[in-house]
Amino acid sequence: MSLLKINGLTQQFGGLTAVSDFSTEFQGNELMGLIGPNGAGKTTVFNIVSGFYKPTQGKILFEEKPINGLKPHRVTAMGIARTFQNIRLWHDMSLLDNILISQHYNLGYNLFDLFVRNRRYIENEKRMRNIAMQLLEQLDLVQFMDEKPKNLPYGIQRKIEIARALSVKPSLLLLDEPAAGLNSSDVQELIKLIGWIHKEFKISIWMIEHQMAVVMSLCSWIQVIDFGKTIAQGTPEQIQNNPAVIKAYLGDDQI
Ligand SMILES: Nc1ncnc2c1ncn2[C@@H]1O[C@H](COP(=O)(O)OP(=O)(O)O)[C@@H](O)[C@H]1O
Ligand SMILES: [Mg+2]
């Protein structure tokens, strides 16, 4: 059984084909990279997989079940969590509340339970809080739990976003340019963190990233797209030496 199987995915925006006949497969527990020049269609692939866009064409199976066109919260509930290229956090809530709120589609209680504050409500709130606190400890964020994200450094905000994604216990984690905007020491820390998450949580990670040091040191398999089309895939070493990839990044005259 494969974890995620994408076949012939195409996304058109008016006359623009942002993603064209894209296919990939995760067996489970891989750490794969999706790279390509700006505007190649990488984020669009993630937006489709996470339910933000309904693809023009193609098939997406998650744990053998079709997920095309499902709403984002349904996709998350099935086990796919993501972070965004531009960090998206609730900046006026505490760090802890940012993590709690993301678990709320996972509630396990209904409005009635909430209204009467019965045992089911109390137990679920406790369970969610325990999950959140454990993550904050694991990601070394406890000291910031009462702070608002907007008052914290960018590197910490990235970590909060990752913690929030993990709080829903995904089996597939999508990271869209996690190193964007980080300084070099934060990037080193991020590399360690992602590697650790992959081992500790035994989940599949699919990462879009521009910083080659991050992709090359973490990913065992890399897929390269340009103008929505896959132009190469392989191990980091194969990708680094692939003429089509070098051309897509640097242009003809560099070869
Ligand atoms: N919602 C949208 N409507 C119209 N065009 C879009 C939309 N989202 C992305 N695009 C276009 O699709 C192309 C791919 O974008 P994107 O997936 O964000 O690229 P990447 O993440 O690889 O930089 C770009 O030309 C972008 O302008
Ligand atoms: Mg992008």
One digit per residue, the tens of pLDDT, for the chain of length 255 reads 899 999 999 999 999 999 999 999 999 999 999 999 999 999 999 999 999 999 999 999 999 999 998 999 899 999 999 999 999 999 999 999 999 888 775 555 566 666 667 777 788 888 889 999 999 999 999 999 999 999 999 999 999 999 999 999 999 999 999 999 999 999 999 999 999 999 999 999 999 999 999 999 999 999 999 999 999 999 999 999 999 999 988 776 544
Only one residue has tokens 């999950």, namely: 131
Q: How far is 161 from 71, CA to CA, in rounded Å? A: 20
Residue closest by Cα to atom 5 of ligand 1: 13
- Pocket probe for ligand 1: among 22, 38, 44, 54, the residue whose CB has the most ligand atoms within 8 Å is 44
Domains in the chain and their CATH numbers?
4-90+166-254 (3.40.50.300)
Ligand nearest to the CA of 175: 2
Contacts of 164 (CB under 8 A, 6+ apart): 89, 98, 99, 102
Substitution site in 9, 12, 13 for ligand 1 pocket (most atoms within 8 Å of beta carbon) = 13
**Nearest atom within ligand 1 for CA of residue 36:** 22
CA distances in angstroms from 129 to 98, 99, 133, 168, 178, listed in the order given = 11, 9, 6, 12, 25
The CA distance from 215 to 237, in Å, is 11
The DSSP H or E segment spanning 82 is strand 80-82
Full-model pTM: 0.93
Instruction: Name the residue type at position 163.
Output: A
**Ligand 2 center–CA 36 separation, angstroms:** 9
Which residues have CB under 6 Å of ligand 1? 13, 16, 18, 36, 38-44
Instruction: Identify the three-state secondary structure at position 171.
Output: coil
Residues with CB under 5 Å of ion ligand 2 are 42-43, 85
What residue's CA is closest to ligand 1, atom 7? 13
